[in-house]
Amino acid sequence: MAVNYADFRDIAIEDYDAVVVGSGFAGAVSARQLAEEGGLRVLVIEKRAHIAGNMYDEYDEAGVLVHRYGPHIFHTNDQRAYDYLARFTEWSSYQHRVLADWYGTYMPVPFNKNSMEIAFGDEKAARLIEKLVDTFGDERKVTINELRAQEDPELQEVADFVYQNVFLYYTQKQWGLTPEEVDPSVTARVPVFISRDNRYFQDAFQGMPIDGYTRLFENLLGHEKITVCLGTEAESVFDLVFAGREEDAPLEAIHIKGASFEGPIVYTGPLDELFLGRFGRLPYRSLDFVYETFDETYHLPCGTVNYTVTEDYTRITEFKWLTEQTGDKTTIMREYSRAYEDPATQIPYYAIINDDNDALYARYRRLTDALPNFHPLGRLAEYRYFNMDKVVADALAASEKILTETADA
């Protein structure tokens, strides 16, 4: 079924049982579940001119399917999330591979046994690999922080090499911070892998939606009980009612079109935005994407090349590797990381996880705690560094909980 789009001005809010803000995975999966499992009439409001959140893909002028908001590869060990999405798309079996451009020489990332041979030469690499295997075990993943904590001089040498040539400059570009300054969970995403496996992810399920993400989202949101209003921002259609005048007074109700909306509200945008930044803005990193099309079948040797020691962009992705599209033109995308300074023109892509920012987030979150029908969900509303599979799993769990609460009420 096609998505049922409407203009927010034409909506009668009493026709809806639930409101979902945002149409990325957090919003779209929640909307589908509330509609399908709970029979609720769901209104989705989305500020962009399209559905699918950061997973949105579209064909460019050269006919190449490109991702508008960063390269997205689905990977998970969560059978439930995978099976759930498999209802809305067929998956390709694409396995993502990344090479670091190391002063013009390519080496696999995560840094592994093959990278070790490129970096140190076969003979020395054999010795170092043996030591790594003896210390950590074969086929094991070790974070750069764990490796740097080793006292053995040879392991220190490996750690220094990886730190200097894989992590330092890339992290400085991506976060404006050194690897020591970012939360350890960030660099732990890309460990050293004591293996010959050159894939970026080792999850049991990995692939790309065969007809693209946007089509997957059309299938998710195409339901008779779901209506989608594009170009509609929560801040401009919600009237927030607080239990007092002080800055920290909690949210008591949300009025939509003049009446208190009592049904579930799933909110997947940034929480500070909803409250117009009253405690100060939550810090994020943003990105600029620069596309280039070539009259070539392929431009890069694999899906993504990370520039770990040179260039001012972090990485280049060539979409045809991901989508397995054929044709004699190809499009690549360079990613430039930026400070997030202007909500009007920039998109908040990455929460910057640290104690101060978590505390600021918690202060916003406390504003919503007393409003039982308000459910912050997803990478933005929870201020977390979630992959897609986690967001899908959380949306399934949250909608189940909401439906149980609704049934009990």
Under the rule (CB under 6 A), what is the footprint of ligand UDP?
100, 109, 166-167, 170-171, 174, 182, 186-187, 189-190, 306, 308
Q: Which among ligand FAD, ligand UDP, none contacts residue 88 (Cβ within 5 to 8 A by kind)? A: none
Which residue type does 213 have?
Y
Complete DSSP assignment for 204-230: SEEE-BTT-HHHHHHHHH--TTEEEE-
Sole binder of ligand FAD in the list 14, 235, 248, 288 (CB under 6 A): 235
Q: Which among ligand FAD, ligand UDP, none contacts residue 167 (Cβ within 5 to 8 A by kind)? A: ligand UDP
Residue 305 DSSP class: E
Nearer to ligand FAD, 82 or 102 (CB): 82
Which residue type does 400 have?
E
x/- map, 29-48, ligand FAD, by CB under 6 A: ----------------xxxx
Binding segment for ligand FAD (CB under 6 A), chosen from 51-59, 215-223, 245-253, 358-366, is 51-59
Q: Which among ligand UDP, ligand FAD, none contacts residue 308 (Cβ within 5 to 8 A by kind)? A: ligand UDP
Sign of the C-alpha dihedral computed for residues 141, 146, 148 and 151 taken in this order: negative
Least Cα distance to 334 among 350, 353, 319 occurs for 319
Say whether residue 268 binds ligand FAD (CB under 6 A): yes
Contact 215, 89 (CB under 8 A): yes
Shortest distance (Å) from residue 314 CB to ligand FAD: 10
| Per-residue tokens: 248 | 């920290």
Shortest distance (Å) from residue 82 CB to ligand FAD: 12
Q: Which among ligand UDP, ligand FAD, none contacts residue 174 (Cβ within 5 to 8 A by kind)? A: ligand UDP
State how beta strands 350-351 and 284-294 pair.
Answer: antiparallel
Nearer to ligand UDP, 17 or 394 (CB): 394
Nearer to ligand FAD, 83 or 235 (CB): 235
Least Cα distance to 273 among 265, 264, 262, 282 occurs for 282
Nearer to ligand UDP, 69 or 294 (CB): 69
Say whether residue 338 binds ligand FAD (CB under 6 A): no
Least Cα distance to 285 among 352, 206, 189, 371 occurs for 352
Say whether residue 144 binds ligand FAD (CB under 6 A): no
Shortest distance (Å) from residue 307 CB to ligand UDP: 8
Residue 14 DSSP class: G
Sole binder of ligand FAD in the list 26, 81, 119, 221 (CB under 6 A): 26
| Per-residue tokens: 356 | 């101060």
Residues 56-75 that bind ligand FAD (CB under 6 A): 70-73
Which residue type does 121 have?
G
Sole binder of ligand FAD in the list 233, 311, 358, 400 (CB under 6 A): 233
Shortest distance (Å) from residue 12 CB to ligand FAD: 20
Residues in binding contact with ligand FAD, number by CB under 6 A = 35
Element (H, E) at 350: strand 350-351
Contact 325, 319 (CB under 8 A): yes
Contact 122, 113 (CB under 8 A): no
State how beta strands 304-307 and 251-256 pair.
Answer: unpaired
Q: Give the C-alpha distances (Å, rounded to integers) separating 213 from 20, 247, 348.
A: 20, 40, 20
Residue 281 DSSP class: P
x/- map, 382-401, ligand FAD, by CB under 6 A: ----xxxx-x----------
Sole binder of ligand FAD in the list 20, 24, 225, 307 (CB under 6 A): 24
On the question of a cis peptide bond just before residue 283, with omega within 30 degrees of 0, the verdict is no
Shortest distance (Å) from residue 294 CB to ligand UDP: 24
Strand order in the sheet with 330-339: 105-109, 98-102, 304-307, 315-318, 330-339, 284-294, 350-351
Sole binder of ligand FAD in the list 18, 20, 21, 182 (CB under 6 A): 21
Shortest distance (Å) from residue 42 CB to ligand UDP: 30
Sole binder of ligand FAD in the list 212, 273, 284, 313 (CB under 6 A): 273
Q: Which among ligand UDP, ligand FAD, none contacts residue 191 (Cβ within 5 to 8 A by kind)? A: none
Contact 175, 352 (CB under 8 A): yes
